[in-house]
Amino acid sequence: MAAPIVRFNFLHVYHRLALFKHRPHETFVTLCQFYSSESAARQKPEQNITVLGNTYKTDSWTNVRPKILEKVGKNLHLKKGHPLNLLKTRIEKHFYENYFNRWRNPLFSVYDNISPVVTLEQNFDSLLVPEDHISRSLSDSYYINTKYMLRAHTSAHEHDLIKSGLDAFLIFGDVYRRDHVDASHYPVFHQVEGARLFTEHQLFSKVRDPTNLKLFEEGRREPTKQESHTLEAAKLMEFELKSTLENLAADLFGKGLETKWVETYFPFTHPSWELEVKFQGEWLEVLGCGILEQQILKSESIVKQCVTLIYRHKIFISYFKIDCVWQVALAMCYTAGAVDSIGWAFGLGLERLAMTLYDIPDIRLFWSEDSGFLSQFEGSDHLKPIKYKEGAHPVSKFSPCINDLSFWIPENFSENDFHDLVRNVCGEYVEQVKLIDDFKHPKTKRQSQCYRIVYRHMEKSFTKEEVNVMHEKVAKLATEELGVEIR
Integer Cα distance of 467 and 454 in angstroms: 10
Nearest to 84 by CA among 395, 352, 369: 352
pLDDT of 324 > 60? The answer is no
Distance of alpha carbon 271 from alpha carbon 235, whole angstroms: 10
Kindly report whether the global pTM for this prediction surpasses the value 0.85.
no
**CA dist list (Å): 270 to 238, 259, 266, 294, 341:** 10, 21, 7, 9, 15
Q: Please say if the pLDDT value at position 460 is more than 90.
A: no
Task: Identify whether the C-beta of residue 311 lies closer than 8 Å to the C-beta of residue 337.
Answer: no
Report CA-CA distances (Å) from 141 to 194, 252, 413. 22, 30, 15
pLDDT in tens, 404-414: 999 999 999 99
Q: What is the mean pLDDT of the chain?
A: 84
Sorting pLDDT into bands at 50, 70 and 90, what band is 143? very high
> Residue 101: pLDDT above 50?
yes
pLDDT for the residue 371: 76
Q: What is the pLDDT of residue 21?
A: 39
From the centroid of its chain, how far is CA 386?
Answer: 28
| Position 164 confidence tier, pLDDT thresholds 50, 70, 90 | very high
The tens digit of pLDDT for each residue in 12-56 reads 444 444 444 344 444 443 444 444 444 444 455 668 999 999 999
- Which of these ranges, 47-51, 60-64, 88-92, 334-338, has the smallest mean pLDDT? 334-338
pLDDT per position as a tens digit, 264-309: 999 999 999 999 999 888 899 999 999 999 999 984 434 444 544 4
Percent of the chain with pLDDT over 70: 79
* pLDDT value of residue 284: 92
Number of residues written out for the chain = 487
Q: For 46-60, 157-171, 268-282, 316-330, which range has the lowest pLDDT when averaged over its residues?
A: 316-330
- Position 395 scores a pLDDT of 53
Alpha carbon 377 to chain centroid distance? Answer: 27
Res 127 pLDDT > 50: yes
> Would you state the pLDDT for residue 428?
85
Listed range (188-202, 336-350, 381-395, 426-440) with the worst mean pLDDT: 381-395
Is the CB of residue 178 less than 8 Å from the CB of residue 187? Answer: yes
pLDDT (0 to 100) of residue 23 = 41
338: pLDDT confidence band, cut at 50, 70 and 90? low
Q: What pLDDT does residue 329 have?
A: 46
Query: What is the distance between the alpha carbons of residues 235 and 138, in angstroms, rounded to a whole number?
Result: 39
Mean pLDDT of all residues in 337-356: 90
Q: Which of 388, 403, 390 is nearest to 456 (CA)?
A: 403
Find the mean pLDDT for residues 349-372: 89
Alpha helices for 342-463 (secondary structure H)? 350-358, 371-374, 415-426
